[in-house]
Amino acid sequence: MQVRKTTIPDAYEFTPKVFPDDRGLLVVPFQADLVAETVGYPLRLAQSNHSVSRRGVIRGVHFADTPPGQAKYVYCANGSLLDVIIDIRLGSPTFGKWEAVRLAANTYNALYISEGLGHAFLALEDNTVMNYLCSTPYTPARERAINPMDPALGLPWAEHLDGAEPILSVKDTDAPGLAEAEAAGLLPKYQACLDHYASQRANA
């Protein structure tokens, strides 16, 4: 398994080895020990999510109040998608920055996204399947969203949509922009996130 630090601190890309034979292939997209070694503490598995999207669907930008937040390990089980990690932690040296990574069922790469980071993706094909391993269960009172079309974020959807209209949920369409979310006190604080990561390392 190859591990790469992304340009967003506390987010990593994992690319597993593939073992093909005349029957097909075997790949292990998640290895708990390696994730714990990379991050400094294990990913507690509280929930597994499975989404299916048609081409042009954008899901996100989603995050949860931190602490406890919700760490995610995500990979594409069918089709392909453009996954975007956004640093929305107030006070972070990379606040407002993002990195886009193509995840696909034929490359088997995955992303670990720490608590407090924003996450969104665009389905590049019909029947694109995203699998999420989550550290905490879905808790509506703590779930937050930022509009993925906010021009202040400048996320790279248009260049991958080929002129098609993006497909968003009502929740994401109605979500505030980054500045509105900051003004409303919805964004995680960088130091609170660092303290949360440190407490988990101390208890690992």
**Catalytic site residue from 12, 41, 50, 62:** 62
Tell me the mean pLDDT in the region 136-150. Answer: 96
- Residue 108 · residue 15 · CB < 8 Å: yes
* Cβ within 8 Å of residue 185, ≥6 positions away: none
Confidence of residue 117 (pLDDT cuts 50, 70, 90): very high
Task: Report the pLDDT value the prediction gives residue 115, as an integer from 0 to 100.
Answer: 98
Is the confidence at residue 80, as pLDDT, over 90?
yes
**Global pTM?**
0.95
Tokens of 78: 């069918």
Task: Report the pLDDT value the prediction gives residue 151, as an integer from 0 to 100.
Answer: 97
Task: Report the pLDDT value the prediction gives residue 164, as an integer from 0 to 100.
Answer: 86
Task: Report the pLDDT value the prediction gives residue 84, as an integer from 0 to 100.
Answer: 98
CA–CA separation, 148 and 173 (whole Å): 8
At the second CATH level, the architecture of 2-202 is Sandwich (2.60)
Confidence of residue 130 (pLDDT cuts 50, 70, 90): very high
117 closest CA partner among 7, 15, 3, 4:
7
Question: Does the active-site annotation cover 119?
Answer: no
Task: Give domain limits for the chain.
Answer: 2-202
- Residue 50 · residue 86 · CB < 8 Å: no
| Ramachandran angles phi, psi of 166, nearest 5° | -70, 150
Is the confidence at residue 204, as pLDDT, over 90?
no
Tell me the mean pLDDT in the region 37-57. Answer: 97
CA–CA separation, 48 and 172 (whole Å): 21
133 closest CA partner among 25, 36, 201:
36
To which H or E segment does residue 24 belong? strand 24-27
Task: Report the pLDDT value the prediction gives residue 49, as an integer from 0 to 100.
Answer: 97
Question: Does the active-site annotation cover 41?
Answer: no
What is the Rg, in whole angstroms, of the alpha carbon atoms belonging to the chain?
17
- Residue 90 · residue 182 · CB < 8 Å: yes
pLDDT tens for 162-194 read 888 999 999 999 999 999 999 999 999 999 999
CA–CA separation, 31 and 35 (whole Å): 6
Task: Report the pLDDT value the prediction gives residue 179, as an integer from 0 to 100.
Answer: 98
Task: Please state, rounded to an integer, the average pLDDT across all residues of the chain.
Answer: 97
CA geometry: angle at 78 spanning 73 and 80, to 5°? Answer: 80
Is the confidence at residue 149, as pLDDT, over 90?
yes
